[in-house]
């Protein structure tokens, strides 16, 4: 992607921003994380647990996973909707530092092969290339259910579509919003996402699982939560919904 295209995508918001350059310091290629080098991920879960006062490690793991899934969808959907381009986000080129927040958490190495954006390309480069091995990496650290992680993937996708649609409306770029909705609808037809929730009206979404944020002190329900009100907290760690 051209620098001016990256700059425009970054203007949508922090989750859509992507820096480019050679990895340095604690930035780790996501390929290494997926291959088993999960210490940085464990440290990220620890940080989230401490910040939220999470009562169970899997609550913190779910929130950490949701945030990274949102980043991965955003940096792919943004260029796809604005410029019809899908950047090469190969796990050996996309580096992550779990100690930083967006946009400094991700760094894309130079090179790679961009391609024309399509739902199939997004499935290949994000859902299969990142979110599938990312779920396995989280499960090596914490016993989080596949259903919850897939729900997070669907919620993160819907959130990225919603942000794009809102930005497009404010910026007088309705075609970008429509493209985001079309891509989102096509992605939610994929078997890995089809049962995670439903697009209700435009970018509105209701997921069929819960990310468990309500269990944190002061935590409530997310806007797309399956629950209408927070359920009673279980007396033991074993009885969680998710």
**pLDDT, tens only, 208-218:** 999 998 999 98
The whole-model pTM stands at 0.92
Average pLDDT over residues 56-83: 97
Does the residue 238 lie in any domain?
no
In a domain, 55, yes or no: yes
N- to C-terminal Cα separation, the chain: 38
Residue 109 lies inside a defined structural domain of this protein: yes
Domain presence at residue 241: no
pLDDT for residue 13: 87
Q: What is the pLDDT of residues 137-182, one digit of tens each?
A: 999 999 999 999 999 999 999 999 999 999 999 999 999 999 999 9
The average confidence (pLDDT) of the chain is 91
Report the pLDDT value the prediction gives residue 227, as an integer from 0 to 100.
84
Judge whether 122 lies within some domain: yes
- Judged against a pLDDT cut of 80, whether residue 52 lies above it is answered with yes
Return the residue matching tokens 């599938």.
132
Residue 118 pLDDT greater than 80, yes or no: yes
Evaluate whether residue 237 is within a structural domain: no
Range of the domain at 182: 3-232
* Residue 239 within a domain: no
Examine residue 80 and state whether it is found in any structural domain, yes or no. Answer: yes
The domain total for the chain is: 1
Q: Is the pLDDT score of 236 beyond 50?
A: no
Is 60's pLDDT higher than 90? yes
Residue 67 neighbours by CB under 8 Å, 6+ apart:
none
- As a whole number of angstroms, the distance between CA 144 and CA 114 comes to 33
């Amino acid at each position: 992607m051209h620098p001016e295209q990256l700059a425009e995508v970054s203007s949508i918001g922090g989750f859509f921003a992507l820096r480019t350059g050679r990895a340095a310091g604690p930035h780790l290629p996501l390929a290494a994380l997926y291959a088993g080098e999960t210490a940085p991920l464990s440290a990220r879960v620890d940080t989230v647990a401490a910040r939220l006062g999470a009562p169970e490690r899997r609550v913190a793991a779910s929130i950490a996973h949701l945030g990274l899934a949102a980043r991965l969808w955003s940096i792919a959907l943004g260029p796809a909707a604005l410029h019809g381009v899908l950047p090469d986000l190969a796990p050996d080129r996309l580096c992550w530092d779990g100690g930083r927040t967006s946009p400094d958490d991700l760094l894309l190495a130079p090179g790679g092969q961009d391609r024309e954006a399509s739902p199939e390309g997004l499935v290949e480069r994000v859902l299969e290339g990142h979110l599938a091995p990312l779920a396995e990496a989280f499960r090596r650290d914490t016993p989080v259910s596949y259903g919850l992680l897939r729900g997070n993937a669907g919620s993160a996708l819907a959130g990225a579509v919603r942000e794009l649609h809102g930005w497009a409306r404010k910026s007088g770029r309705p075609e970008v919003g429509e493209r985001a909705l079309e891509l989102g609808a096509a992605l939610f037809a994929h078997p890995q996402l089809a049962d995670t929730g439903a697009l209700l009206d435009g970018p509105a979404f209701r997921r069929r699982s819960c990310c468990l944020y309500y269990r944190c002190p002061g935590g409530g329900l997310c806007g797309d939560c399956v629950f209408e009100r927070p359920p009673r907290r279980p007396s033991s760690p074993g009885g969680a919904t998710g």
